[in-house]
A and B are shown apart, each in its own frame.
Chain A
Amino acid sequence: MNPILSVKNIQKSFDGTGVLKGVSLDIHEGEVVVVIGPSGCGKSTLLRCINGLERIDGGEIWLRDQRISDQEKNMHLVRQKIGMVFQSYDLFPHMKVMDNLLLGPTKALKRPADEAKAEAMEMLKRVGLAEKADALPRTLSGGQKQRVALVRAMLMHPELLLLDEITAALDPEMVSEVLNVVIDLAEQGMTMAIVTHEMRFAEAVADRVLFMEQGVIVEEGAPAEFFREPRTERARQFLQSFTYASTRKNAR
């Protein structure tokens, strides 16, 4: 079966510094790919290149049978099929939650407002925020904002959802309420590319894990194997940095 997304040998540099040095990646329908790696390895840039927030310097990106890496004029049509959620939520502060949700479906997709509203309400209910429909974003907690942002992206019925460190700005106790929504989406068959620092979440949600370093994919594999027994030394070191090897010797 043909992949939904096909990234072919893309390159990207900022001010002469290579950030992506030939990255290739296929994502198939219903697949959840998690990208991990040290900060600055290019994983966020990879996601931003996929939906054209950054222009690539070389290579190609295909969404099904359409080459999207050279779309200039019609990029907004491509983006209607690729949802993205960021670390900083980026809800529109001047709009109520419901208006945030309806903007894309009614303006970009030109769907009838009442139909879109019914669906939005349904999805708000599913993430436990039905009573917040008329609230302004600033009255929500970080976890609530991020759940609204996820619903906002999903209401566009994207073929692919990109999640860029969506729990990085959250207080620890709010992380799971957001990640549970993502796991729920994965169960429903949503195709996703996820950048995260939450290793246990990565293990739980991924069909495939990519480990990136210095602009290239160093290792790729099923989560069970990758997290138990990474093949490369660099991945092993990276995973070890999430555990504390030493304990205090003279603790009282």
Chain B
Amino acid sequence: MSEHEYVPKSKAAKWFNDRLPLLTLGAHLTDYPTPKNLNYWWTFGGILTFCLITQIVTGIVLAMHYVAHADLAFGSVEHIMRNVNYGWLIRYIHSNGASMFFLAVYIHIFRSLFYGSYKSPREIIWILGLLIYLLMMAAAFLGYVLPWGQMSFWGATVITNLFSAIPLVGDSITTWLWGAYSVDNPTLNRFFSLHYLFPFLILGLVVLHIWALHIPGNNNPVGIDIKKPSKDTVPFHPYITIKDAFALLMFMIIFAGFVFFSPNVLGHSDNYIPANPLVTPAHIVPEWYLLPFYAILRSVPDKLGGVILMFSAIFILFVLPWLDTSKVRSAVFRPIYRQFFWILVIDVLMLGYVGAMPAEGVYLALARVGTIYYFLHFIVVLPVVGLLEKTDPIPMSISEPVITGGAEPSLARKINEKV
């Protein structure tokens, strides 16, 4: 790649770069050859980086005014909203930012599922991404507890009680998590500490995620390997940066719409009632981005079984690269898989919907069907379809997307070398 040729122009820069090759890194990132056919679904990596930085910056600022004490937390949030200069703006960016972060990460994940970005040689990128996603869920949950409203308190109670399903040691673990005999001030205090920690762990994993990405390079909508740099690639800057910037701005318009015009629509009104350990709200619902998993949890009539199934729904994604037997990456050339992909999208959306509804009657039935299908998709559909499916002809290079006849990788390579 081009960074090997990079030599700083000035002597001082060369002196510095020999000792710490930051300039080489900068040049690598700038010139990084990127497939030129990336569509807008590929802009969500940049958008997610923006989301993470926004959450970290606004979070550090909020921590300057927030008080992590059961008696004072709710009031300190009101203090931020009413007294702190621009406090309302910063808090609304942070609280809506969490939702926007998840919106972007779900699009990012489903993009990967559609175009087969998790497949060899990108398994590690995929696994790092899942770890980021897990930490995001943990950070979001911990953060939701901090305002110490009714949903904070009861959400914390319900989620920490999941651990009590573990045989023998469950109760001890739950008490240990609480630091008390219920969710209480010690719980709030440690949740605040961990909520401050997790984003920096995520940041570290993001660096690894991008590092791992830069080894094989980006996948692309066609899903074929490309030679870099070549006619099929463009330098990251300015081509990809400007495209990412455009997509990010569109995303920010939606973000701003929520922050300024309906800042509480994604939250729950009960969280403006101070935490009360004596009264549980009528409907306990997690934030929208956790609803599908919540539906899976509730679809099982057994405490331990529900918890195991819910965690399995996430952990099954870790072995996804080995469950998918297809040699073709992109769903563009996989007519059967493509249909199952959309069914999975609908299935997850439906699980999200029933997760927000009371767990009874038709909702429970739907949740069960949805849960079974979710697992079937990964355990049965993916391996079987991969083996049986007749894929469409694959182009030899990005520049020549329309070809006749089957894929002939060796031929493609020859053509690429001529360019």
Q: Do the two shown chains form a genuine complex with each other?
A: no
Which B residues have a C-beta under 8 Å from some C-beta of A? none
Which A residues have a C-beta under 8 Å from some C-beta of B? none
